[in-house]
Structure 1
Amino acid sequence: MYVDFYGFREHPFLMTPDARLFYPSSGHAHAYAHLTYGLAQREGFIVITGEVGAGKTTLIEKLCAQLDPATYAVARIATTQVGGDDLLRLVAHAFGVPSEGTKAALLQGIGATLRSSDVGGRRHLLIVDEAQALPLPAMEELRMLSNITDGGRALLQTILMGQPQLRRIIASPDLDQLRQRVLASYHLGGLSAEETHAYIEHRMRTVGWEGRPTWEDGTFDVIHRHSGGIPRRINRLCSRVLLSGALEQSDVLTLPMVQATAQELEEDLSSGADSAPPAPRGEGWDGRYGSGGGSSPYVEQVVRDLAARLDALERETARRERVFNRLMDLFSERAGRL
């Protein structure tokens, strides 16, 4: 809906990674440099970690889009909990090797495929996503695959992507030999407040944004605070803000609109636990909401807080009613055209 209202060519904030919308923040630019450096070494492992939604997959999509298919045979696997033998079958299948038969047959098939392509000058790159889910035996199988060589040249490079715990797993004494083969490693953090601002405008500009809608002062700071600078969280919040703006037919995305949308998302994803602060049991507390001689400072504060919450609730209710009425108008218009 908001794509048409604001005249975008497509959605600027989809959850699906899209290399076309890649934003080279300081962290992502450094991670990309580590990837290209690691690939230039033509052997070993490259490790990229980051929180869920930090942009690891988009980074890899960007890399793969730059690799020449005539030079690189790229295989990608996403893992959950698979053992060593099952991982080998996944690797074999990803490189077009028959995945049936014994473990020895799998290893022979993978080795033969790597050597045959090497004769023609193609390099093999294996990308393993969610690698933190791999058990130690599966990690050891990946290390053993890195031992496949021909004429002193390694025939396989591996990129391991995963959440922060992947770094702790690789640091395990049991994986010392694999760790010695890691040539480049980088951890992706969240965007800074300034990068969050630039990231939002970059994605919108890429899909045709020319200044409409405008973002009110302070809105980007709110988005950064609620998202922690994690790109996927930014996308989710911005998409909802744009939808609210389109429903209200507003050319300005206001600070209250962003704050209310961020609160809605938090409520949608929260467990529903009561967030009210517990009453203090310190000085002046007698087991009631007062100290026996009149209103306590705590009660006065509670009343002020309740009044503020009620005022905010009334404003939010009015906003949601406007959105609901707009939706009903849209449904009526479409029904009339059918």
Structure 2
Amino acid sequence: MFDDFYGLTGRPFQLTPDPAFYFESATHRKALSYLGYGMAQGEGFIVITGEIGAGKSTLVAHLTKKIDPEQMTVGQIVTSSLDGEEMVHLVAQSFGLAVEGRDKASALGEIEAFLHEEARAGRRCLLVVDESQNLSSEALEELRMMSNYQLGSHPLLQQLLLGQPEFKAMLADSDRLEQLRQRVIATHHLGAMQREEVRPYIEHRLKCVGWQGEPAWDDDVFAGIFAATGGIPRRINQVATRLLLLGAVDQRTRIDAAMLRSVLEEMDSDNSLPGAAETMQDNERDTPGGSREPDPIQDHAESEEPAEPEDDGIFAGGFALDADAFDDLQPATYRGSSPSADIARPFEKPVEARDEAPVEDQDDDASPTEQPVPFAVVARMEPEPAAEPDTGREDRDALLKRIEMLEARLEEQERGVRHVIALLIEWLEDGAREAA
């Protein structure tokens, strides 16, 4: 209805994740940096958490759109409460394997055979698991066991786990998930957008459907939307859709604060956004003269030009890591059917990004500029200053923990070697029987 009234070519604020509407906020840019780091390692688990509606699924849709299918095969599943056997079957189906009616062992055999075929064809495999907070410890353990599949000493399956904040807490607190925790190589919590990002976010989505400036939006509307939604993209989409609908019904060419108050009161009453109207009123009382205008966003033309990326072939448009941040890191690549591969040196400890509170005059991160190839440039991850240890005990504990991780990795590699030897013996025996 409102799209016809305003001459739009589609719905700018649909709730279904669509990579065409991807907007790179500061927190999304940081998430892509950690995703890039994790995927260059070619092994283990990458964990992305965030509130409901923070944009996790849109981020993954954007990621998978950029992946070259000739270099990487991606399986995606959205989980509910599954036991271990159900998880195994779901993983197999995500890669197009027909395992209906088969037991768990047969399904695992199909998955392993498929991963070996992909590796020999020069393709890596990535499994994306959404809504991971719904998984049982048994299902997560099955995912961990699948990460043991190797060709020689090189892992065959990397996994990206998406979940709500409780999934991060579950990983940290559960003793049963200790082995999985040791295999998490990168993690990031996808936070809310900053206040000054709300306006470019809304205008970006409008421009994706042909917006030419009508309806116009008053400046204080954006600050009011941020106050009511907390900067969560899905909530912003809900409010913006209601505003456009109200504008079309009333035949308005400008969205103002009075319309926003009316929409928020309606959403508060129908419980679709509880407390939103009161939050906006509090924001107006706290800000003299009403909601203040959002800080200007730095133009893309004025932003620092990134270094030229190096293409590792995984992504259709190229992929690069920040050279200064990861000087010695090389992406993992399979070369034809050879069992030997160059693989990035694994980091023993997971890298974790934490979103800081929004800063008013933060020029570097305030500009969510849209890159032509979003994975071509990875934002630099400055290390947080390390706290000075009180005693030498922390150093000893860290050393012991690292030794424990190295021992666990050595044990995994030995299991992989034994597995390959068993396959070779079986192949030789089969050949001997055929010759006889």
- The TM-score by the shorter chain falls in which range? 0.7 to 0.9
Asked if residue 152 in structure 1 is aligned to residue 188 in structure 2, the reply is no
Partner of 1:219: 221
Please point out which of 217, 229, 232 is paired with 1:230: 232
Which segments of structure 1 move beyond 6 Å, counting only runs of 4 or more?
270-273
Instruction: For residue 97 of structure 1, report the CA deviation from its aligned partner.
Output: 2.2
Partner of 1:286: none
Aligned pairs for 1:203-218 within 5 A: 203-218=205-220
Counterpart Cα distance in 1 of 2:273 and 2:70: 50
Deviations 1:102-155 (A, max 9, x none): 221111111000001110101111000100000001100000000000111100
Counterpart of 1:204 in structure 2: which amino acid?
A: L
Aligned pairs for 1:1-338 within 5 A: 1-99=1-99, 100-171=101-172, 172-269=174-271
Counterpart Cα distance in 2 of 1:211 and 1:144: 53
Secondary structure of the structure 1 residue equivalent to 2:139: helix
Counterpart Cα distance in 1 of 2:170 and 2:274: 34
- Higher mean alpha-carbon deviation, 102-111 vs 59-68, is at 102-111
Preserved contact between residue 132 and residue 161 of structure 2 (Cα < 8 Å): yes
Instruction: For residue 4 of structure 1, report the CA deviation from its aligned partner.
Output: 1.1
C-alpha root-mean-square deviation of aligned residues, in Å?
1.8
Counterpart Cα distance in 1 of 2:273 and 2:205: 31
In structure 2, relative to structure 1, the CA distance for the partners of 1:227 and 1:272 (3 Å cut) is: closer
Could you list the runs of 5+ residues in structure 1 that have no partner in the other structure? 276-338
Deviations 1:198-231 (A, max 9, x none): 1111111221112111111311111111111100
Deviations 1:245-284 (A, max 9, x none): 11111111111001110111111116999x9xxxxxxxxx
Preserved contact between residue 171 and residue 181 of structure 2 (Cα < 8 Å): yes
Counterpart Cα distance in 2 of 1:234 and 1:272: 14
**Corresponding residue pairs, total:** 275
**Identity across matched positions, percent:** 45
Preserved contact between residue 28 and residue 59 of structure 2 (Cα < 8 Å): yes
Secondary structure of the structure 2 residue equivalent to 1:186: strand
Counterpart Cα distance in 2 of 1:161 and 1:68: 21
Query: TM-score, with normalisation over the residues of structure 1?
Result: 0.79
Deviations 1:79-113 (A, max 9, x none): 11000110001011111223232221111111000
Could you list the runs of 5+ residues in structure 2 that have no partner in the other structure? 278-436
Secondary structure of the structure 1 residue equivalent to 2:270: helix
Counterpart Cα distance in 1 of 2:32 and 2:273: 37
Counterpart Cα distance in 1 of 2:148 and 2:14: 40
Question: Quick check: which one's helix share is greater?
Answer: 1
Preserved contact between residue 48 and residue 190 of structure 2 (Cα < 8 Å): yes
